[in-house]
Structures are given as C-alpha cells and as structure tokens.
Amino acid sequence: MPELIVLGFPTTEAADQVVPELEAMQREGILQLADWARVIKRADGKVDTRQATSTAGVGAAGGALWGMLFGLLFLMPLAGLAIGAATGALVGKLSDYGIDDKFIKDLSNQITPGTSALFLYVQQSTPDKVVERLRPHNPTLLRTSLSEDVEAKLRAALEPAQTPA
C-alpha cells in the first residue's frame, strides 16, 4: 500500500542533495516512488517547491498529439497542434496528480526558515537500505501515513548513530 512520508532536513541544500540519491535508489530497485516534492523555506520565509512531474508539460505533449491528429482531419495540422498543446497545458496545470498541493503548501508553512523538506509518496521500498542511504543527510521524520508502531521504528532508525563516550 502506498505511504506518504515527509522528511525534514537541517539546511536548504540538503533536500536537493537527496533527490539524486532517490533517483539512484529507484534505478537500483530499492525504492519505488509514485511522486515526490521538494520544498525549501528560505531564511526570508519564501517557499520554493519543485515536484517530480510537471502536469502542464505532460498535458501539453498529449494535447499537441491529439490536436495535430484532429488538425490532420481538417487539413490544418499546425493549428491543431498549437491549439491542442495550449489546451493540454491548461488542463495539465489545473490537474493535481500525486501528492496534494494543498497539503504540501500547508506543511511548508510550518517548517522552519532555512530548512528544506521532501514529500515522498512511496509505493514500495526496502526500508533498511533506504534508511541507510538517507541517514548521512540527517533527515527528521515530519509526517507519515504509517501506523504508529511502524512510524516509531522509522523515526528511531533515522536518528544519527550514537558514538560511545
């Protein structure tokens, strides 16, 4: 069952540094994400959000294809292409797939300025390997859709290793 996990990071750069690691884990089959979003809250309080997929871009591509096909029927393929791309981009922009944008915005307002967060919509994972790869980035578990006992185990696993005195 897909789960939502939100990880906080102590710096604005940390979440961006983790994204290539997530992509590598997906290629290796350790992690399968349906969607992700990166949020940076700058020191001045401004929020910068980036999501894995651009729905406007996907919509424009699909609209362009269908517009060109309809344009061919009426002997105006370029006009059909342009109208289809514009319509597809608009529909894509208004569509919301994956992680809810309102949830991202609400939680983004709660994170501390000068930090960042990753919203992960996890379909499948090998938790011990994922935690091992994420731990060096000092993540903090902010929110999950996991059960309380699984969340507590994940929270404990993400804590930095204690060195004996």
Q: Determine the pLDDT at residue 28.
A: 93
Q: Does residue 64 fall inside a structural domain?
A: yes
In a domain, 61, yes or no: yes
Measured in whole angstroms, the distance separating CA 147 from the mean position of its chain's CA atoms is 21
The pLDDT value given to residue 67: 66
Cβ–Cβ < 8 Å for 120, 36:
yes
Q: Does the residue 14 lie in any domain?
A: no
Q: Is the pLDDT of residue 37 over 70?
A: yes
**pLDDT tens track for 24-36:** 999 999 989 888 8
Contacts 24+ apart (CB under 8 A), 83-87: 85/60, 85/61, 86/60, 87/63
Q: Is residue 129 part of a domain?
A: no
| Helix (H) / strand (E) containing 122 | strand 115-125
CA–CA separation, 74 vs 47, rounded Å?
Answer: 46
Q: Please report whether residue 74 resides in a domain.
A: yes
The predicted-structure confidence for 92-110, as pLDDT tens digits, reads as follows 555 555 677 888 888 888 8
**For position 126, what pLDDT does the model report?**
87
| Segment 145-158, tens digit of pLDDT | 777 888 888 888 88
Q: At a CB cut-off of 8 Å and minimum separation 6, what does 31 contact? A: 22, 25, 122, 124, 125, 126, 130
Please tell me the total count of domains within the chain.
1
Q: Would 81 be classed as within a structural domain?
A: yes
- On whether residue 36 sits in a domain, the answer given is no
Question: Is 9 within the bounds of a domain?
Answer: no
Q: How far apart are CA 109 and CA 118, in angstroms?
A: 14
User: In the chain, how long is the greatest CA-to-CA distance?
Assistant: 79
Full domain range(s) for residue 66:
55-94
pTM (global) more than 0.85: no
